[in-house]
Amino acid sequence: MNIRPLLFVPALVLLPDVLRAQPASPSPAVTQAVDTSTSAWEGIVNIDVSVLMPDYREPWNAGQPSGGSGTGFLIGKNRFLTNAHVVSNATRILIRTTNDPEPHAAKIVHIAHDCDLALIEAEDGSHFDKLKPLDFGGIPQLNTEVIAIGYPIGGDRISVTRGVVSRIDFRPYSHTSVDSHLAIQVDAAINPGNSGGPVMQSGKVVGVAFQGFSGRVAQNVGYMIPVPVIKRFLKDIEDGRYDHYVDLAASDFPIENPAQAKALGINGDGVGVLVGDVEPQGSVAEVLKIGDVILSIDDNPVMNNGLVRFEGELMDMNEIVERKFAGDTIKVKYLREGKKKEATVTLKRFDPYVRLGAQYNQRPRYIVNAGLVFQPLDRNLVDAHQIRDDTVSYVFDNFLTDKLYVERPEPVVLTNVLPDEVNTWITPYAHSIVDEINGVKIRSLKDVQTALAKKEKPFIEISLLEKNRPLVLKRELAEAAHKRIMQNYNIQEDSYLGDE
């Protein structure tokens, strides 16, 4: 059972199990087509997307074309809010309303993959000038009714499903597979194609539909992105760019054992959570240490299970950090060896964390040399190549826990060996972490380029992590074979290191 975004894929495309329509089951939710001729819901649009999926197996290729559809809604003059996963990797975006079947070209204005939100606009906004933007409400109460509005399963007319709010929680967002934010669970039927559509209560938007459970374990369980996350995204982009979420970059453990609480010097009032780990490149790296006890954040007492009472609700303490922006400060009170301390922390994004998540809207980076293909290690690469090498798995799985990013910020993998007489017997070493090339320590893909450019020695010697035998190519033969290999495999560029 997995949680997945609910982007609709047309029937002509082979559907993965997660996107197939589930059999109907008894539910209080009701689905019906709604005539919007005089409705304020005219601002809800169907989004049709053409997509180019990057090819991480052959990164020099353009990629695989695909497509899908989702929902969006008007929030201001020619400003439509939707999910990031609806428009990720898009090459063409068309929007249309129920009352106007004519498609209108649109483009992405801002996209935030970490919270799965995007702002798009029509290239010619005059077609939507008379539409009324939807207003935002607040966080709905538990067991209150909401309606999810959108274009599920690729329908041409708006569909409405009804349900109740069943949980408000801090949950993973499946778009990146690593980010967690406030999310609201509803039992309204939310299906592929609903993604990006508004969830409404009393005529106001209280969330954006974005993911649901696959499989048959959880029926009619969907999730919406709540208003605080939406407003943070909109606030972040006010200066014309999106700066991403910030993190404390520290983990915590509950303090529930009375003896442990006493040993740590806590007075037993249920306040204080133990610091389990601190990332050396994170926001609190110079402040907190393992074994400290966090007492409060911005004067909000932190309970022994890591929760705080914030805006009248019990929430994960990270929710306070979630409302902040890059460069903002936060006040932390903590206990160290029985002594109370206080510090002001400047918040920033924790970049190593991003490498573990899925990446979008970017071209795969690579270097090809004498048929050897080098690529930076990230989730997209692991998924595309289905890498099973123990060392690669260890580096990826323990990139944060063992602080491997300190020594190797961007591990590089020898992902493929394009067969040629010059690289005979090297193929079995594909899917290995590159440690050194010609004596240069490889900490990033840029280091590979630097090392291969060194021509003092007649050989190219490549050391692989946890492999006892180095790979050796005769430089003269490798350079002569390089052009031949590029032609044989129809490779136009032998490297792409990213946009400057």
Q: Can you spell out the DSSP letters for 385-417? A: HT---HHHHHHHHTTTTTTHHHH-SS-EEEEEE
**How far is it, in rounded angstroms, from Cα 395 to Cα 381?**
13
Instruction: Please report the pLDDT score of residue 424 as a whole number.
Output: 87
pLDDT at 56 over 70: yes
Mean of pLDDT values over 274-287: 94
Over the chain, what is the mean pLDDT? 88
Instruction: Please report the pLDDT score of residue 5 as a whole number.
Output: 56
85 is catalytic: yes
100: confidence class by pLDDT, cuts 50, 70, 90: confident
Interacting residues of 168 by C-beta distance below 8 A, sequence separation 6+: 139, 142, 182, 183, 184, 185, 226, 313
Instruction: Please report the pLDDT score of residue 18 as a whole number.
Output: 33
First CA to last CA distance, the chain? 41
- Cβ atoms of 71 and 28 closer than 8 Å: no
262: confidence class by pLDDT, cuts 50, 70, 90: confident
**What percent of the chain stands above pLDDT 90?**
70
Instruction: Please report the pLDDT score of residue 88 as a whole number.
Output: 96
- Cβ atoms of 92 and 56 closer than 8 Å: no
Instruction: Please report the pLDDT score of residue 407 as a whole number.
Output: 95
pLDDT at 7 over 50: no
116: confidence class by pLDDT, cuts 50, 70, 90: very high
Q: How far is CA 437 from CA 365, 414, 452, in A?
A: 18, 12, 7
pLDDT at 311 over 80: no
Mean of pLDDT values over 308-312: 83
pLDDT at 20 over 50: no
Active-site position among 48, 116, 187, 316: 116
Instruction: Please report the pLDDT score of residue 9 as a whole number.
Output: 34
Interacting residues of 358 by C-beta distance below 8 A, sequence separation 6+: 113, 175, 176, 177, 379, 380, 383
Q: Can you spell out the DSSP letters for 452-491? A: HT--SSSEEEEEETT-SS-EEEEHHHHHHHHHHHHHHTT-
Instruction: Please report the pLDDT score of residue 192 as a whole number.
Output: 81
- Cβ atoms of 188 and 118 closer than 8 Å: no
Lowest mean pLDDT among 182-191, 325-334, 470-479: 182-191
413-464 confidence digits (pLDDT tens): 999 999 999 998 888 899 999 999 999 999 999 999 999 998 888 999 999 9
Instruction: Please report the pLDDT score of residue 40 as a whole number.
Output: 62
Instruction: Please report the pLDDT score of residue 219 as a whole number.
Output: 65
Mean of pLDDT values over 175-183: 91
Instruction: Please report the pLDDT score of residue 494 as a whole number.
Output: 95
Instruction: Please report the pLDDT score of residue 373 as a whole number.
Output: 98
Q: Which amino acid is at 28?
A: P
283 is catalytic: no
Instruction: Please report the pLDDT score of residue 124 as a whole number.
Output: 93
Distance of alpha carbon 207 from the chain centroid: 19
154: confidence class by pLDDT, cuts 50, 70, 90: low
**What percent of the chain stands above pLDDT 70?**
90
195 is catalytic: yes
**How far is it, in rounded angstroms, from Cα 245 to Cα 98?**
35
pLDDT at 105 over 90: yes
- Alpha-helix residue ranges (DSSP H) falling in 18-144: 84-87
pLDDT at 479 over 70: yes
353-403 confidence digits (pLDDT tens): 888 899 999 999 999 999 999 999 999 999 999 998 999 999 999 999 999
83: confidence class by pLDDT, cuts 50, 70, 90: very high
Active-site position among 195, 214, 432, 463: 195
Active-site position among 48, 69, 85, 432: 85
Structural domains in the chain, CATH included, are 3-239 (2.40.10.120), 250-348 (2.30.42.10), 365-496 (3.20.190.20)
Predicted TM-score (pTM) of this structure: 0.87
